[in-house]
Amino acid sequence: MAKPETTGRTTRTFLALGVSAEARRALGRIRASLARALPAVRFADLAGVHLTLTFLGSLDAEQLALATEGAEASAHASSPFDLTLGRPGFFGPAHAPRVLWVGVDGQIDPLRTLQRRLADELAARGFPRESRPFAAHLTLARLNHPLSPEEQTRLQTALVALAQLPTPNAPWRIETLDVMASELRPTGARYTRLRACPLASPTSPPNGE
């Protein structure tokens, strides 16, 4: 397991679900369409795309241990489930979107249950609850400037065209909840998985025994 790079004695931490290679390939096709519409925007490296359940910020060693404990507890109480890609969209106003993303479909109820369970486990260990409601999505790009009228038109045209296509048939199985470290670099964020917490059905014996 790679050793994460930290800031001082803290680790920039989030808890997330992985994405399959098949889903990444489908995301690549969506990203290519949006990149043609917005060539000046830097899009995410798909190798690092993930479904974030909660971002915890910079944690010291004790806090990181507690977060990992909460992730393991919530994962152990959950069963594996299947997700698939949804439609692309954005957060923020049309003239200045903050994030371009692709939604998530499939077994959404188990996903929401896992996210709520995780929030409860973290709150029990002293972590504040997030004020914003959970919105399952995969981030393709973050924008830090308003769009020109021409860019707005091209983006809307691309989104309409993508919405008219069949939903990508790229399901994947969620079997672990991952404790992730994030390091911000000029070339983009670098992610390291610190712990993979297996989702174990409550009816299954611990450790597969």
Q: Coil, strand, or helix at residue 94?
A: coil
The string of pLDDT tens digits covering residues 45-64 is: 998 899 999 999 999 999 99
The model's pTM: 0.86
Q: pLDDT at residue 74 above 70?
A: yes
Architecture of domain 19-201: Alpha-Beta Complex (3.90)
| DSSP symbol at 41 | S
Q: Domain residues of the chain, as ranges?
A: 19-201
Q: Comparing C-alpha atoms, which of 51, 13, 63 is closest to residue 192?
A: 13
Give the pLDDT of residue 186. Answer: 75
Residues 6+ apart with CB under 8 A from 73: 121
Give the pLDDT of residue 209. Answer: 37
Residues 6+ apart with CB under 8 A from 99: 90, 91, 92, 137, 139, 141, 142, 143
- Is-contact 192 181, C-beta < 8 A? yes
201 — pLDDT class (breaks 50, 70, 90): low
169 — pLDDT class (breaks 50, 70, 90): confident
